[in-house]
Chains A and B, each alone.
Chain A
């Protein structure tokens, strides 16, 4: 009898332990939450997503699984997300620009649009810079364009179609010629610059250590606003080239998700983006502070972004 009552008490306390946070939070996932990252392991999105999940797990006690679903800069993952039934526990994390560009260029082939998702919030903004080796014979975009005209052409490394479009816009506006070399990612761009195979290239964070060590310099900012870490450097727009990209890291769930789930999860994300341990990772990855635009703000960002992308990237 004694043993039985002890067991009962144990079971009861276990039940309390399990149900207590659920009561406190009003909503909890039935089973593990899954964050699907639209990029492969090892990139900045992956790193931030994994730490975000870890911080959310510590704060809420939910079991959170992180999966990598790379493909087309997140398009494969968002396609999959839009096609699965609403389960209130699958979250997608990606970057705005690659998705928006594909929506503009191949919207008819994609089974989703920006209304297919409920947006949870954002994590950070990526700042995109055109950088060059410290020995390059130019210090800003005007100088680079002049040098390209003088030499006939100039090799520049890019890592995604939006950057190619920015450079093509530069060609069209100024008449300078560039050899555009496509690299697999920021790290390869850095390798090409350091190896002297190209004179300039785009970096979304991979170049910070080289700025710090003095091996590289920033030529231009490719965002709408100037770079937070190099406010003296002009943007493409300020140099007369009307093109920019503003990639934002964001999270979303399938349209039609239970509002209670949306509220609880976006609150958890909001709480996590304020944690110092998360800020440190974001600082490492994109050299900026975490930015959460909230559910409404993220939705607005996507709507505005699509309108902008239509102007920049329409065929």
Chain B
């Protein structure tokens, strides 16, 4: 069994902890005069813990098996789709984007039956629209 996945994630968290401690925390946390607990105290301690635990995992990895890379790539596709959905919603609004997004997701899963597609693409967004804007009087994203 491979120890590669733990070595990668361990090194990642080590790098992240070090980056936080040496670069991010000093630049993005203000210093204050007086007070009892400086804003940077806890983040700094945690960054060091993160880096050390990361190093430990990288040195003494367990034999954790990564999820199937093909599945992970497919997930990446869905994430890209949802990112596009959020971006489109910021321009055109939920009403227009939701049916398209629902259709894309259902199609990618492999749904081809017109009845279910109709329910998911037309009925569901319409129901959400009705509930949120008409019944609750709130705004959709």
Contacts and interface: CB of A to CB of B under 8 A. Distances in A.
Interface of A: 32, 34, 63, 65, 67, 168
Q: Which 7 A-B pairs have the closest CB atoms?
A: A65-B138, A63-B137, A65-B137, A65-B139, A32-B137, A34-B139, A32-B139
A241 B34 CA distance: 20
10 contacts: A32-B137, A32-B139, A34-B139, A63-B137, A65-B137, A65-B138, A65-B139, A67-B138, A67-B139, A168-B34
A32 to B, nearest CB: 6
Interface in B85-141: 137-139
A64 to B, nearest CB: 8
Contacts of B138: 65, 67
Contacts, number: 10
Contacts of A63: 137
A257 to B, nearest CB: 18
A168 B34 CA distance: 11
Contacts of A34: 139
A65 B34 CA distance: 42
A32 B139 CA distance: 8
Nearest to B37: A182
B139 to A, nearest CB: 6
A63 B134 CA distance: 10
Nearest to A57: B137
B35 to A, nearest CB: 8
A152 to B, nearest CB: 17
B91 to A, nearest CB: 13
Contacts of B137: 32, 63, 65
A63 B139 CA distance: 11
Interface in B24-49: 34
B63 to A, nearest CB: 44
A65 B137 CA distance: 6
B81 to A, nearest CB: 27
A29 to B, nearest CB: 12
Nearest to B34: A168
A149 B137 CA distance: 57
B77 to A, nearest CB: 32
A34 B139 CA distance: 9
